[in-house]
A and B are shown apart, each in its own frame.
Chain A
C-alpha cells in the first residue's frame, strides 16, 4: 500500500525530470503546476509573452498520457466554440438528427491562452467547465473527461481590448502562477538548446498515466494535516479580510485551496504530512489573485504579494 504511494510520488518526480528536458528553469512554476494537477485544481498563469507557458503545459500533457487542447481566446470566440455545439447530421438511412459535436474543452488538459481576451460570456463557459467538470448544451449535460484541468494564461501587458477576469471568476482558479524572465545562465541554456535543434527533436517519455494521476489526487486529499497548521491557514485567510491595505479579502474557498495546495506540495515532496513551509509556500499563489489591495496601498506601490508576505510574518 505504502509502496504504491512511493511509486506514484516517484513517477511524479520523473515527470519533473522529463519536463525539464524541454523547459529550462521555471522549476518552481512547474512544481506548482503539478501541485495544481494532483489537487484537481485549475491554474492561471500570468507572464509576458515568450516565456514558454504554452510549451510547459504541452510538455506536461505529453509526459502524463493526457489529451491536450489549446484554445486561443479572442473577442469573437463564442462559448460554443469552447464547449461544442449541436449539428445536424444525416444518418446512413437518410434521417437527419442533432448530434452534439464536442468542443476543445473536452480534453484532459485545456490550455486557455490569453483568457482575458475572450468575452465574459465565453469566459463563463470555461468557468462552468472548471467548476462543475461538465458542459451543458442543448438541454443536455455532458461530463468532461477525468482528470480535467484548465490552465489559463493571461498577459499582464497590452491590456487594450481585454476583459479582465472578475474576482468571482479568478477565485475559481486554485493557483495563480507568475513566470519571471530567466537569468543569464538559463537564457544561455535556452539559446544553446533551441538554436541547435527544434522543439520536436527533444523527446520526452510518457511516465504517468491518467489512472495514476487520479490515484494521486485521491492520496493527496488523504494527507493528514495537524490542527495547528489547519488553524494557521484559516487565520491567514481571515487576516486578509481585516487587513487595512486590502479592500476585498479572500473567501473560504481560498482556505480550502490553501490547505489542499499544501497537501499537494507535501505529497510531491514525498511527505505524508503538511508542514508549515508547505503552507507558507502556497500562500502567495493561492491568495494573490483572490484579494484586492485598496487605492491607498496601490498608490504606495504595495502589491497583493507584499500584503500576503506581511501577513505571513
Chain B
C-alpha cells in the first residue's frame, strides 16, 4: 500500500470516528427529546391522542407512543445533521497540530502525488494521527448539557408523578399516589379533587377491595363476672359466691360473641353490590 493509499485509508477511519461521535450525540439528545415530548404530551391531555394504543393483550400509553415516534424522527434527522458536520475538516480544526499537514496530505493523496516530499508528508501525518485522539469530534459541553437536561426533565417527570400532578393516563396511570388534580381525568384517582361528587366508576374489581377469600378464625372474648349479694337477713354468717342468690343482683356486662367472615358462596362480584353494601352499612350507622 502506498503512502497516498494509507492516508486515504486513515481519512476513512476519521470519517468512521465522526459517525460514532454523531451517533453518541444523537442518542443522548434523542433521549432528551423522548422524555421531554412524553412529559409535555402527558401533561397536556391532548384530545386527539388516544389514551392507549395496542391490542387487548398489550396496551401502551398513547403519550409514550407519541414520544417514541418523536424520538425516532429526531434521531434520524439529528444523526444525519451531526454526521455531516463531523467531517474531516471538523477533525482538523479540533486538532490544530495536524490541521494543515493533514489537509495538504489529503489533497496530495487525491492527486496521487508520490514524490519524496509527499511520501514524507504522508508518513509524518500518519505518525501524528496515531497519537491524535478523535475526541475532538465529541462536544463534551454539548453532551454534558444534554445529559443534564435529560436528568432534569426525568426528575421533573418523576416528581410530578409522585406528587400527583396528573400524569395518570400515562405510564403512571395506576399509581397509588394519584390525587390533587382537578381535571376530569383525575377524578377517581384519589381524593382531594374538586370534581364534586365522589365516583366509583373505577371500582371494577371487588377482589381488590376484599382480598382473597379464606378461613377466618372464630372470634372469642371471655370475661369473668362477679355477682354480689347484699341485704340484712340471714344468720350473719357470711357466705359469698353462690350464684342465683337473692334479689339484689346488680348486673354485669353483657357478653356476646361475634363471628366475622363470609363464605365463598357469598363472593361479591359486582361493584354495584359493593356500593350498595357500603351505603347500607353507612345507613345502619
Contact = CB atoms under 8 A, between A and B. Distances in A.
B117 A223 contact: yes
A166 interface: no
A274 B100 CA distance: 8
A267 B101 CA distance: 13
A contact face: mostly helix, strand, loop, or mixed: loop
A284 B124 CA distance: 30
Contact of B100 (A1, A5, A276): A276
| Interface size range of chain B in the complex | 10 to 19
Contact of A219 (B100, B101, B105, B116): B116
A219 B104 contact: no
Contacts of B84: none
Contacts of B100: 226, 273, 275-276
A109 B113 CA distance: 33
Contacts of B269: none
B contact face: mostly helix, strand, loop, or mixed: helix
Interface in A257-274: 267, 271-274
B108 A224 contact: yes
A274 B117 CA distance: 11
Given A2-B123, A224-B121, A273 B116 contact: no
A222 B103 contact: no
B107 interface: yes
A270 to B, nearest CB: 10
Contacts of A1: 116, 119-120
A272 to B, nearest CB: 4
A5 B103 contact: no
B51 interface: no
B115 interface: yes
A298 B174 CA distance: 87
Given A273-B101, A274-B104, 6 more contacts: A2-B123, A223-B117, A224-B117, A225-B104, A226-B103, A271-B101
Q: Which 5 A-B pairs have the closest CB atoms?
A: A222-B115, A224-B108, A273-B104, A272-B121, A222-B117
Interface of B: 100-101, 103-105, 107-108, 113, 115-121, 123-124
21 contacts: A1-B119, A1-B120, A2-B116, A5-B120, A219-B117, A222-B115, A222-B118, A224-B105, A224-B107, A224-B108, A224-B117, A224-B118, A224-B121, A226-B100, A226-B103, A226-B104, A226-B107, A272-B101, A272-B118, A272-B120, A273-B105
